[in-house]
Amino acid sequence: MTATDPNRALPLDPSLAPPGTRNFRDAGGIPADRWHADQNGETLVPTHCCFCGVQCGMYLRVDRGGKVFGVEPRNHDINRMRLCPKGINAYQQVNHPDRLTAPLMRRNRDEEFREVSWDEALDHTVAEIRRIQGEYGNDAFGLLGGASLYSEKTYLVGKFARVALKSRHVDYNGRLCMVSAAGANKLAFGIDRAGNPFSDILLTDCLLIAGSNVGECFPVMTQYLWGARDRGATLIVVDPRETAIARTADIHVALKPGTDSAFFNAVLHVVVAEGLTDEAYLAAHAAGWEEVKATVAAYPPARSAEICGVPAEQIVQVARMFAGADRAMAWHARGVEHHSQGVENCLSIINLCVAAGHIGRPGAGYGTITGQGNGQGGREHGQKSDLLPGGRSITNPEHRRQICEIWGIDEAELPPAGTSMMEMVWQMQRKEIRGLVGICNNPFVSLPNYATVKDGYDTLEFHAQFDFFLSETAANAHVVFPVTVWAEDEGVMANAEARVVKHNKAQEPPAGVRTDTWVICELARRLGAGDKFAFPDSRSVFEELRIASAGTVNDYYGITYERLEETGGIAWPCPSTEHPGTPRLFENGRTYHPDGKIHMQVVEWHPPMDPYSEEFPLSLTTGRTVAHFLSGNQTRRLGALVEQTPRPWVEVHPSHGFRNGDPVRVVTRRGSEVFPALVTEAIRPDTVFVPYHWPVPTAANALTIDALDPRSKIPEYKVCAARIEAAERIDEVPAPPTAPGHQAYPETQVSRTDPLPPTSPQGRGTAERS
Amino acid sequence: MMGRTIFIDPGRCIGCQACVSACRECDSHRGKSMIHLDYPDEGHSVASLPTVCMHCEDPVAPCAEVCPADAILVTADGVVQQADTTRCIGCANCVNACPFGVPKIDLQAKLQMKCNLCYDRTAYGLAPMCATVCPTGALFYGTLEELQAERPGVQVADSFTFGSTTVSTGVAMVVPADKVQWPVPGGLPVVEINGRDVR
Ligand code: SF4
Ligand code: SF4
């Protein structure tokens, strides 16, 4: 087998592992030659990164005293030793001085937090739940989970809301992540996950990356991109910004934010016009093609070129390159999903893949790149307002019956579907929701339109939050429960390929810290549902989850902890313990719809929800930087990452006349904030970009609009109308909140007030540096 | 012929600084990174490239040659070590001598620090930390044959001119396949980038 062999598939032939790494195999957690273990008396615990949806394998280095003190790369076949800076620094949060180690409580928001016993915090929370539900009904108390939690815990969140709280109001922060893709996949294919494993990228001839800054958001995935290009694959990047990956692409389509479906409809128009469709595949496997074809007829390249602000020839080139390839793949991320037409954008890409026959083959298919570690697994087992375990629909009577049987409750007791995360905030404002428990999420930074979010949370009569650092949201709560970090418990996550991987426990939690599982079960017990929540640990929850998913599309039944440890990960569906898992979908052409067909959906482009005007002529778009993760509650405390990217900036084109570092006020219909300018040709003249990991007064989300996609309810983070103007001073970056008595970690203060934009990541500096 | 070494491919670098973080984690200079990223075309492009010690071979390690305290050891396999802490007087001669701007001085400790190709790892057959984690393979550790097996047609350069002086290095740089230049200009004034006059 040679490096150019198109049939090579992951797990890679060991001879293709990065040279120099061969002695370092996954051998029961110890490198084969044991040098490290012998040298320092340390142990290496095999686990995965807690951050993004790649889920890179890593070892945590544990000293003789049982404390995590470092990281060592691991030759897991997802990442083959590679890690991004977040993964390398992740271990530092385990024993970080900002860790919460005792429950915090206060009776109202004017008081200071005081440390209290677990009993007092739990009793007070249960009393408030009882009071609020007694006065206003069960649905007046809500639960918001998170997609950084292990799947076991997300299962518990969904079960706790419906069985112990008996409330319909449960949702999770994956709602802000990839639900548009999930909705589109479900509509088209009847299954909610990527169609192909990452390793298929190595086999493709043409790779289309839409709305994804792979280099910064999923850095370790770039090795697959380069692997494909080493074999001669072409690369098309669709993104308003020239990202590091776009820089070297064969075609970079720098379209105007919010015009993706107009672009993909036009590409499909050309594919049809040039006879590049795979009619045999369409006839055998697709429904709805005629309607789709009729719709895209109205999107000739000239029309879409005008809407998208790109040359019409590019549309033609993309069509020929993608549809003309033997095997092509499309991967997309939040850039196309974070829109009020997020589901439609994803569907327009799916239509293109299907029409060109690029589905269900090695090197041909589609995928969505999950932002959060467990963005995929986090919604599969009932944490999302409309889903029950196993991806069952909460409105389907048969599904409801099945779950009630497993849970041992009466069907009439199971609440109906609730609302989405942003809608719950609006309900808080309207006092329909009066109490809330939030688990490992930070909406004060992560939800759009901060003023509305703050108002919603301030209106709550009672708010409890689980976290291991005091997040901006937790700092506004009445009760804060200190819980474990990922390395202090075991559990599974499903990565962007729907590969379920197992995280292992590397150290005991600090005194005073409990697992989320323990806290949820303890609350349930005190609410009188203890018999349904007798789970001593993650493993016992996973056993119930397996059974609860059996026979569904999201079948985990065949996945066990032991198998995960042996295999390094299994892709669901996996119906039996002999089943190898399903890394690639639709190989037989059949989808998960009852008729086995792909249901192609008509997509019409419509403009973004926030209209441009003379006052607000520009597009504001937001995104990530490589050093930080989501709301930054974790990464804004790690010295190396803060130093790498100390503060947000606004990326502006040189045509606006600013110089690097100038204070620039970004104004939208929701508010205004001042950032240092990062003047660069890597962005469109009509677009500005602000990374979103910081709280007010440096929060991109104080400016973004809380418009939602009607189907997925994802907020439209990626486009709103804005203007920029010169300002006097630059808003200082606030330090992350810390609990009383905790010293802020000194290293996190590095360069915090340095007004200049960082030269990293990606060197987007200016030509002149004053 | 080059043995196992680092190959730098700036075309792949995404500027993520995983190499910088990884270097900090390496046991031999734990807490300090010996890599920095350069942004050769700031404001116009997002291009970036990592700078590691090039482990000069000919002339043998200018840093070591100028060291008055004989603190910088070059091992038989061509690795230019970090200054010996018992000898280094922190005079910074090495900093001035290095054509690639690699060694750093800790002024307080009066000590020089530089990349030693993760000697604690490479001696055991492991890749250096930076090349191990680099997500894109912009930093690659292995032999030229291994690199070419993975990346068909790849061309590398391992000599660089600075004015009238040519330096051959133990670490090699990937250069555009259609424009192999021997040696690669190192210290000459840059007049053109991507067809744009930058004088
Ligand atoms: S953040 Fe993502 S890419 Fe980076 S190390 Fe973690 S899992 Fe890998
Ligand atoms: S780790 Fe690799 S891609 Fe990232 S900055 Fe360093 S050399 Fe570049």
According to the model, what pLDDT value does residue A745 have? 62
> Which residue of chain A comes nearest to B15, CA vs CA?
A762
According to the model, what pLDDT value does residue B75 have? 85
According to the model, what pLDDT value does residue A758 have? 58
pLDDT in tens, A585-635: 999 989 999 999 999 999 999 999 999 999 999 999 999 999 999 999 999
Distance in angstroms between the alpha carbons of the first and the last residue of chain A: 54
Cα torsion angle, A480, A486, A491, A495, sign = positive
Neighbours of B134 (CB within 10 A): 34
- For residue A697, whether the previous peptide bond is cis, meaning omega lies within 30 degrees of 0, is yes
Token reading at A54: 């790649």
According to the model, what pLDDT value does residue A753 have? 54
Q: Which residues of chain A have pLDDT under 50?
A: 1-39, 749, 751, 760-763, 765-770
- The whole domain housing B95 covers 5-197
According to the model, what pLDDT value does residue B157 have? 87
According to the model, what pLDDT value does residue A633 have? 93
pTM of this structure: 0.91
For chain B, the domain total comes to 1
CATH at B190:
3.30.70.20
Return the ligand 2 atom nearest residue B15 CA.
5
Contact yes or no for A312/A302 (Cβ under 8 A): yes
CA distance B161 to chain A (A): 26
According to the model, what pLDDT value does residue A550 have? 93
Q: Which residues of A touch B43 (CB under 8 A)?
A: 654, 660, 679-681, 764-768
According to the model, what pLDDT value does residue A64 have? 83
CA dist A743 → A99, A137, A739 (Å): 10, 41, 8
- Cα–Cα dist A693/A324, whole Å: 40
Mind giving me the DSSP string for A509-575? PPTT-B-HHHHHHHHHHHTT-GGG----SHHHHHHHHHHHHTTSTT--TT--HHHHHHHS-EESP--
Closest residue CA from atom 2 of ligand 2: B134
- Cα–Cα dist B75/B78, whole Å: 5
- Judge: A21–B127 Cβ closer than 8 Å, yes or no: yes
Does the complex come out with an ipTM higher than 0.90? no
According to the model, what pLDDT value does residue A252 have? 95
Cα torsion angle, A194, A198, A199, A204, sign = positive
In this prediction, residue B110 has a pLDDT band, given cuts at 50, 70 and 90, of confident
Separation of CA A550 and ligand 1 centre (Å)? 30
Question: Does residue B51's CB lie within 6 angstroms of at least one atom of ligand 2?
Answer: no
> Which residue of chain B comes nearest to A759, CA vs CA?
B39
Exposed / middle / buried, residue B161 (Cβ in 10 Å: 0-12, 13-18, 19+): middle
Ligand nearest to the CA of A630: 1
Q: Which has the closest alpha carbon to A180: A368, A462, A445? A: A368
pLDDT in tens, B20-77: 999 988 877 767 888 988 887 777 777 888 999 999 988 888 999 999 989 998 888 8
